[in-house]
Amino acid sequence: MTDSPAEASLGLYLYCLARPECLSLVRGSTIEPDLRGVDERYPVAALEQAGVVAVIGQVDTGEFCDQNLQTLSWVGPRACRHEAVVERIMGASPVLPVKFGTIFRSRTSLKEFLGRHREGIVRVLDELRDKAEWSVKGYLVEEEARRIVAAADPAIQSRVAALSPSPGARYLQQKRLDAIIDAALRTWLERATHDLHELLALHAMASTELRCHASAVTGRPERMVFNCSFLLTPEALPDFRAVLSERQHTHKGTGLTLELRGPWPPYNFCPTLSESAP
C-alpha cells in the first residue's frame, strides 16, 4: 500500500533531545493547550529510545522550501514556537536543542540516528543537567562615551585647548582630534568589554562571544558592542548577577549599558549534530 500525497509530504520535525523526565509533558492531555508546535496542525509528541527522548512533531516538508526559509515573516513565528517548545521541555529535563528546520523522513530514520549518536547525546545531556544559558549584551551611546573619554584624557584636552581660531586650520585640527578621540574610545571599549567578559566568565561553566547585531536587528538606537552567552548553574547565578550589577554601576554615565537575559536552553553550548537528518 502506497502513501497518499498528503502522507508522503509529512516529515518528523525534531525540536530537541532530552531525558525521560520530560515525557509527562508530551503525552496524553497534560501538555499545555497553548503550546503550539512549528506546524500548528500537529501536536508535540515524543519518541523514546534507550533513555533518550526525541521531542518531535509532524510538519509538511514542502513548506520548508528555500523561499520560505529565507522569508523572515514565515520563519519568525515558527522559530518562536520552536523555542517555546524547547524552553518548556527544559523545565523538566536537560535539553540538547536542535537547529530550526531539522526534519527526518520517518520514525525509522530518527531511531537509526538516535542509535548512532546515543553515547554522545547522553554525555551532553548529563553535562548540561541543571545548567542554562544566559546572555549579556552591551549597548553604547557613542556620543556620550566620546565626551567621557575625551574629558578623561589630559592629552586630548590639551589639543582641545590649542584649537586654532582660524576656521581653516581649526577644521584640519578638529579632524585629527576626532581621529584621536575615536582611537581612545576604541581602546577604552576594548578594555571595558574584555574585563567584563573575564570577570563574568569566572562564575560560568563556559562562555562564548557572539556576533554583535546592527540596530535594525536589535531595535535599539545604541550600537551593540558586547554580546556574550554564559552557561550557568543555579548556584552560580547570584554571584554572576552581583558582578554584572557592579559593572553596570561602574559604567553608569559612560554611555555603556548592560542587559542580562535568560534563562534559555543552551543553544550556544551544544555540539552540532555530526550528521544531517536523513
Residue-wise pLDDT for 173-195, tens only, equals 888 888 888 899 999 999 999 99
**Long-range pairs for 245-252: beta carbons < 8 A, 24 or more residues apart:** 247/196, 247/199, 251/192
pLDDT for residue 212 = 94
121 with 139, same domain? Answer: no
40 with 152, same domain? Answer: no
124 with 207, same domain? Answer: no
pLDDT for residue 168 = 77
Domain end point (choices 94, 129, 164)? 129
Q: Whole-angstrom Cα distance, residue 249 to residue 20?
A: 43
Does some domain include residue 27?
Answer: yes
Q: What total number of domains does the chain contain? A: 2
Q: Whole-angstrom Cα distance, residue 192 to residue 226?
A: 10
pLDDT band for position 277 (cuts 50, 70, 90): very low
Residues in the chain: 278
Indicate the pTM of the whole model: 0.81
* Residue numbers of the domain that contains 171: 132-267
pLDDT for residue 36 = 73
The three cell numbers locating residue 154: 589630559
185 with 100, same domain? Answer: no
If you average pLDDT over each of 41-45, 98-102, 121-125, 134-138, which comes out highest?
134-138
If you average pLDDT over each of 3-7, 68-72, 237-241, 252-256, which comes out highest?
237-241
Does some domain include residue 272?
Answer: no
pLDDT for residue 242 = 97
pLDDT of residue 110 exceeding 80 = yes
104 with 150, same domain? Answer: no
9 with 95, same domain? Answer: yes
36 with 145, same domain? Answer: no
Does some domain include residue 142?
Answer: yes
At 257, phi and psi to the nearest 5? Answer: -120, 150
Percent of the chain exceeding pLDDT 70 equals: 91
187 with 225, same domain? Answer: yes
pLDDT of residue 79 exceeding 50 = yes
pLDDT for residue 8 = 54
87 with 157, same domain? Answer: no
